[in-house]
Structure 1
Amino acid sequence: MSGVYQRHWPGDKDRPALALHCMLASGSYWGPIADRLNGRIDLQAFDMPGHGRSGDWTPEPGGPDYHTTITRIAASFIDRPLDLIGHSMGATVALRIAVAAPEAVRSLTLIEPVLFAAAPDPLQQARDAEILGLVAEGRDKDATRAFIDAWGAQSFDDMDPRAQVQMQQRIGMVANNVAALSHDNAGILRDGGLEAIDAPVLLISGQDSTPVVHAIADALAARLPDVGRATVPGAGHMLPITHPDQVAGLINVNLDRA
Structure 2
Amino acid sequence: MRTAQILPQAAHVSHFGHGPRPVLALHCTIAHSGAWKGLTRILGEEARFTAPDMLSHGRSPDWDGQGCFQDRILRIAETCLTEGPMDVIGHSFGATVALRLAVEHPERVRSLTLIEPVFFAVAGQDAPELIDSHASDAQPYLDALSAGDRALAARLFNRMWSTASSPRWPDLPEATRAAMIRGIHVVPTMDAALFDDTAGLLAPGRLDRAAMPVLLLRGALTHPVMEAISKGLQRRLPDAKEEVIEGAGHMLPITHPEETAAHIRTLWSRAG
Q: Distance in 1 between matches of 2:93 and 2:197?
A: 12
Q: Distance in 2 between matches of 1:85 and 1:177?
A: 19
Q: Distance in 1 between matches of 2:221 and 2:34?
A: 24
Question: Given the alignment, which residue of 212, 233, 253 partners 1:240?
Answer: 253
State the 1:18 CA deviation.
0.2
Q: Structure 1 residues 241-250 or 153-162, which shifts more?
A: 153-162
Query: Could you tell me which residue of structure 2 aligns to residue 151 of structure 1?
Result: 161
TM-score normalised over the length of structure 1: 0.91
Question: Given the alignment, which residue of 111, 114, 119 partners 2:118?
Answer: 114
Query: Could you tell me which residue of structure 2 aligns to residue 186 of structure 1?
Result: 199
Query: Could you tell me which residue of structure 2 aligns to residue 176 of structure 1?
Result: 189
Q: Distance in 1 between matches of 2:262 and 2:241?
A: 14
Inter-CA distance 226–164: structure 2 relative to 1 (3 Å threshold): same
**Equivalences for 1:57-68 in 2 at 5 Å?**
57-60=63-66, 64-68=67-71
Deviations 1:15-51 (A, max 9, x none): 3210000011111121221221142222111111111
Query: Could you tell me which residue of structure 1 aligns to residue 41 of structure 2?
Result: 35
State the 1:127 CA deviation.
4.1
Query: Is the contact made by 1:205 and 1:231 (CA closer than 8 Å) also made in structure 2?
Result: yes
TM-score normalised over the length of structure 2: 0.87
Q: Which runs of 5+ in 2 are unaligned?
A: 125-130
Is it true that 1:44 corresponds to 2:50 in the alignment? Answer: yes
- Number of positions where the alignment pairs a residue of Structure 1 with one of Structure 2: 254
Query: Is the contact made by 1:24 and 1:167 (CA closer than 8 Å) also made in structure 2?
Result: yes
Query: Is the contact made by 1:199 and 1:226 (CA closer than 8 Å) also made in structure 2?
Result: yes
Q: Distance in 1 between matches of 2:61 and 2:117?
A: 25
Identity of aligned residues (%): 40
Query: Could you tell me which residue of structure 2 aligns to residue 197 of structure 1?
Result: 210
Q: Distance in 2 between matches of 1:162 and 1:43?
A: 24
State the 1:145 CA deviation.
2.4
Deviations 1:92-133 (A, max 9, x none): 100011111212110001110010111021112334555444
**Equivalences for 1:1-258 in 2 at 5 Å?**
1-2=4-5, 3-13=10-20, 15-60=21-66, 64-79=67-82, 80-120=84-124, 121-152=131-162, 153-258=166-271
Q: Which runs of 5+ in 1 are unaligned?
A: none
Q: Distance in 2 between matches of 1:159 and 1:90?
A: 22
Deviations 1:159-195 (A, max 9, x none): 3444333322221111111111122112222221112
